[in-house]
Amino acid sequence: MPDASAQPTTDADRAIPGPLAGYTTLRTGGPAARIVAAGSADEIVRAVRTAAEPVLILAGGSNVVIGDAGFPGTVVLVRSRGVRVIAEDATSVTVRVDAGEPWDDLVATTVANGWSGLECLSGIPGSTGATPIQNVGAYGQEVAETITGVEVYDRIQGTRQVIPAADCGFAYRGSIFKYVDRWVVLSVDFRLTRSPLSGPVRYAELARALGVEVGDQVPLADARAAVLRLRAGKGMVLDANDPDTRSVGSFFTNPVLDRATYDHLVERATELGDPPAWPGADGLVKVSAAWLIDKAGFAKGHPGEGGVAISSKHTLALTNRSGTAHTSDLLALAATIRDQVHARFGVTLHPEPVLVNCTL
């Protein structure tokens, strides 16, 4: 496959003024002291090395909430592009993807080429470089299942290195990269299966949408199309004409509870029925945050102050519905939801996006 990287230009040519709201899917956030775009891994490293602290790395802006005061340092916009085959055999292909490559463009490319492994992650906004940080997952797939290595710039050592997947600390919506400023992701390697069929469908909702049983396989294009339809129905595919998509997607992670806490939750929710839950290792149970929010009294479309609201399509998404809301408005609504869920069920919800110069 040809290298799709953009033509390089110098950092100095691309110093960009303006508020950070325009670089996030939430469309909130104040100004930065300086914004610099970097179109290659070398430019990203150079920009980070030479910038005065603090430094914020920002790519697709789909999983970040930036405070109304903005950011008091340099924001490096990751704009590197490229998808390259670096290894292949009869059954698999390994691709190296630059950090700034739009994620859904990559998924579309893999489906078109008959490479299985990312199809259920269709429609997720943001950049490829953000996916290992969050261990992005949806509809039964996680990027941790296909990532073989992550190329990073180590800001402490001042070196570039590839961290093998086994050393990335992948966990549910987490990794060693999350909430840590040490590493800047430059590229990600994915090992994908050569197959016209998806992996076994693991997610019941997706299986129903496809008209198959859990565990069945379907053509890659069918899996992608079904996921895109499901996500669009929840306002989770970016659409300039849909105010529900001015969000960071799911604002809260599904809480993972030990057995005692889960049993206590079930007792407190007796009249509501058992919450949707998924058993995990070591007796842990993952519980639906959307169910907790809804049963705590926050329905789809629930309004907050200042033009924010819960999505009209999905209770996990908090939206800048008016397009003119402030980050403080959104966080106030999030805090109200979190506190009410805890008061009702004894479970604490935690935010999924990264909070920059703001707190919840």
Return the active site residues: 173, 250, 352
For helices 259-268 and 327-345, the axis angle rounded to 10 degrees is: 90
Residue among 299, 335, 306 at smallest CA distance from 321: 306
Token duo for residue 106:
């990559």
- The phi and psi torsions of 8 (rounded to 5 degrees) equal -70, 145
Cβ atoms of residues 146 and 194 within 8 Å: no
The neighbouring-strand residues paired with 219 are 197
Count of CB atoms situated within 10 Å of the CB of 182:
12
Cis (ω within 30 of 0) for the bond into 132?
no
Gap between the Cα atoms of 233 and 169, Å rounded: 33
Burial of 153 (0-12, 13-18, 19+ CB in 10 A): buried
Rounded-to-integer distance, Cα 247 and Cα 264, Å: 32
Of residues 358, 356, 359, the one with CA closest to residue 57: 356
What are the two backbone dihedrals, phi and then psi, of residue 221, each rounded to the nearest 5 degrees? -65, -35
Q: Can you tell me the distance from the alpha carbon of 10 to that of 6, in angstroms, rounded to the nearest whole number?
A: 12
Residue 105 is inside which H or E element, if any?
Answer: helix 103-112
Residues 6+ apart with CB under 8 A from 240: none
